[in-house]
Amino acid sequence: PWVGRLLAAAPDPAAERAALEARQPTGRLVGAEEVAGAIAYLASPLSGATTGTALAVDGGMQGLRLRQAAPR
């Protein structure tokens, strides 16, 4: 819903969504069901051996590195 509100406020919501998706390493936005799946995993007995980690459910955004500015 948050992204939907941001896109709805843009002058061209379709173009803004396309630009946002193009910036994602996976080429698409992460869905609420994907976040819910990660939460369900962490809350389940299946995650019993998962300790001391941060689970980024962000489509790869955490691992992105900014491009260096071109020399002037």
32-63 pLDDT, tens digit per residue, is 999 999 999 999 999 999 998 889 999 888 88
Q: Which residues contact 29 (CB under 8 A, 6 or more apart)?
A: 3, 20, 21, 59
**What pLDDT was estimated at residue 14?**
94
What residue numbers bound the domain in which 36 lies? Answer: 2-48
The domain tally of the chain equals 1
Which one-letter amino acid corresponds to residue 46?
L
Q: What percent of the chain has pLDDT over 90?
A: 51
Closest to 26 (Cα-Cα) out of 68, 63, 67, 66: 63
**What pLDDT was estimated at residue 63?**
80
In a domain, 53, yes or no: no
Q: What is the pTM of this model?
A: 0.70
In a domain, 68, yes or no: no
In a domain, 67, yes or no: no
In a domain, 61, yes or no: no
**What pLDDT was estimated at residue 12?**
94
- The pLDDT of residue 67 is above 80: no
In a domain, 65, yes or no: no
In a domain, 12, yes or no: yes
